[in-house]
């Protein structure tokens, strides 16, 4: 026979708490921190992706502009027979003008180094007692034919030649003086280059 009665039954024993308030607060706080970190990372990734999308759009716009430019160039380069004929004609004219320019340049060179300067120098070295009737110029060879009022006018006039650019360095190898049918002193003065005289 039992003498004791157990009134402290299982129903009155404190129950074991698996999740306390502190643990709940820590868990919720940790979850919030993790969520905030994930949101921050997602926003960061979104910003990076937006920048990349923007850059790609700019690249696409540039490439579209290049394609449009190339398409325009291709459309302009479509061969047109009339334009090709006109271009050929213009090129031919340009070639003729180039050849004409070369010829004119050569002519200008001849004139600047030959007859034109000689005429200018002879005009500057003129003498009142000398009148030239004919001037012949062939390369470095020159022949002057004219009349003089007096015999001493011819040597005086020749001495002035050293002042003229085209007359400098010329050696006159022949001077022929006589009287023509009108009893006027006529002369012919011929030169040759200094190098030919020295030979």
pLDDT in tens, 160-172: 877 777 777 677 7
**Which region, left, alpha or beta, applies to residue 121 given φ > 0 means left and ψ of -120 to 50 means alpha?**
alpha
Highest mean pLDDT among 108-112, 144-148, 173-177: 144-148
Nearest to 167 by CA among 199, 135, 198: 135
Question: Is 177 contained in some domain?
Answer: yes
Residue 13 resides in a domain: no
Whole-Å CA distances, 163 to 39, 88, 140, 189: 101, 53, 18, 18
Q: DSSP readout, 37-61?
A: HHHHHHHHHHHHHHHHHHHHHHHHH
In a domain? residue 33: yes
Does 86 reside within a domain?
A: no
Same domain, 125 and 185: yes
- Is residue 182 situated within a structural domain? yes
pLDDT of residue 197: 38
Same domain (yes/no): 126, 186 = yes
- For residue 198, pLDDT over 50 is answered with no
Residues 120 and 194 in one domain: yes
Provide the mean pLDDT of the chain.
Answer: 76
Counting the structural domains of the chain, the total is 2
pLDDT tens across 16-72, in order? Answer: 666 667 777 787 788 788 878 877 887 887 778 788 888 888 888 888 787 777 777
130 in the same domain as 193: yes
Q: Are residues 55 and 121 in the same domain?
A: no
In a domain, 79, yes or no: no
Looking at residue 188, its pLDDT comes to: 92
Query: Are residue 47 and residue 117 in the same domain, yes or no?
Result: no
- Domain annotation covers residue 144: yes
- Among residues 159, 165, 186, the alpha carbon closest in space to that of 117 is found at 165
The domain that holds 134 is classified in CATH as 3.30.1360.100
The boundaries of the domain holding residue 127 are 113-198
CB 175 within 8 A of CB 194: no
Measure the CA angle with vertex 35, ends 31 and 36; round to 5°: 120
Q: What is the DSSP letter of 191?
A: E
Element of type H or E holding 62 = helix 21-76
- In-domain check, residue 54: yes
- 139-173 residues labelled b (16+ CB within 10 A) or e (exposed): eeebebebbbeeeebbeebbebbeebebbeebebe
């Amino acid at each position: 026979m039992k003498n004791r009665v157990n009134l402290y039954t299982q129903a009155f024993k404190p129950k074991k708490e698996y999740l306390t308030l502190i643990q709940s607060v820590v868990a919720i706080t940790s979850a919030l921190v993790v969520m905030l970190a994930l949101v921050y990372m997602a926003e960061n990734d979104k910003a990076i992706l937006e920048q990349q999308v923007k850059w790609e759009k700019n690249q696409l716009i540039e490439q579209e502009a290049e394609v449009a430019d190339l398409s325009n160039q291709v459309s302009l380069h479509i061969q047109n027979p009339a334009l090709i004929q006109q271009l050929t004609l213009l090129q031919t004219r340009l070639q003729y003008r180039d050849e004409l320019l070369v010829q004119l340049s050569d002519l200008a060179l001849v004139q600047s180094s030959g007859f034109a300067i000689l005429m200018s120098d002879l005009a500057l070295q003129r003498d009142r007692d000398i009148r030239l009737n004919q001037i012949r110029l062939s390369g470095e060879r020159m022949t002057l034919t004219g009349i003089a009022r007096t015999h001493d006018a011819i040597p005086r006039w020749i001495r002035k030649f050293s002042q003229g650019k085209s007359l400098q360095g010329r050696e006159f190898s022949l001077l022929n003086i006589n009287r023509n049918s009108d009893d006027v002193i006529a002369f012919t003065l011929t030169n040759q280059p200094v190098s030919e005289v020295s030979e």
